[in-house]
Structure 1
């Protein structure tokens, strides 16, 4: 019967170290392979999304209902709301600023929806028959409000006694108006029956 060869402690340590190194190398290799496969899958998914982006956007637009469809509430009419306007100060120097307080007050018996943005609730300043300044020359994002009971929405609009043009421009590029008397009024876009009383501002 052959005798088994005795393995020294040193040889055992060497074998153990080799096994550990082999396991670490295997784990690193498997990790690299998994990472590559995950990266390839993400790349394929990204390319697929890019190729079908128009279809996805179209579906998203169709799937997003408007506030009216979600709530089933009608738009506010002249029977539901009233507009109020105040100016402070009512007399200002050329190049000065006037702060208008614009209020949308609910006065009807039914709930209703209104867009209270500067693009829908419009402040117009005129001199005679000439329009001098409008708050909706620069477009603003929609700000839909559900009004009921005695709800009201109060916003401040600043007029720097300048004249707007046909396109949106910064205040610094607009020309100051001349001294004179100007008429300010709030109105709702698309509904001429909803408007505030006119407010007079004197520029001197």
Structure 2
């Protein structure tokens, strides 16, 4: 039987003992590699997590700064630029035709032109909620363009500026609540007046124009 002298104990080891010793060394080596791999993986994951957190913090800081540096039009309106009103703008309203049939529609060109003297100009919402088209039959309000909510469209206008928008009256009678034009009754034949005004500034309005529904 072959023996091998152990360098630690000086005793002879059999082949079985030698094989067992080698297996233990192999198992120990594999375990060591696995532990080291796990430690490296943990360190890598931790590093990536720190980088991701720093990136998110930086993004949040940049976003906050950008929001702070770019004030909304409403903030500008309140802080420095005056509202457009009868003292610095002129409104006009032009229908596409003088008449249309029952069940039809009418397009109007709504115009606001700056005629003030201030260098800063003025701020106005030119959406259908800010520049309101009102249709009347005598004193009866038949339809208004601001019954349904729309996105605001603030414009800064100054000397020489003019903004034009198209507003369509669908030829129906609107109520106090928003509804689809298809669900509203058509107006009867007759003569109606149309007028443009600035929301919140009752004196800022155009001359009324007559429209005939045939």
- The reply to whether TM is greater than 0.5 is yes
- Report whether the alignment pairs 1:183 with 2:193: yes
1:75 to 68, 74, 83: 83
2:31 to 14, 18, 23: 18
Contact 2:102 2:188 in 1 (8 A): yes
CA RMSD of aligned residues (A): 3.4
- Report whether the alignment pairs 1:132 with 2:142: yes
- Structure 1 unaligned blocks of 5 or more: 39-59
Contact 1:122 1:134 in 2 (8 A): yes
What are the Cα deviations for residues 150-180 of structure 1, in whole angstroms up to 9, with x where unaligned?
Answer: 1111111111100000111111211111112
Superposed, 1:1-204 pairs within 5 Å as: 3=7, 16-27=29-40, 66-70=75-79, 72-110=80-118, 111-204=121-214
SS at structure 1 position matched to 2:192: strand
Task: State the 1:20 CA deviation.
Answer: 2.2
TM-score norm. by structure 1 comes to 0.71
What are the Cα deviations for residues 46-75 of structure 1, in whole angstroms up to 9, with x where unaligned?
Answer: xxxxxxxxxxxxxx9xx98722244x1222
Contact 2:85 2:198 in 1 (8 A): no
Contact 1:90 1:98 in 2 (8 A): no
- Structure 2 unaligned blocks of 5 or more: 1-5, 11-17, 51-67
For 2:35 and 2:200, how far apart are their aligned partners in 1?
77
Structure with greater Cα Rg? 2
SS at structure 1 position matched to 2:107: strand
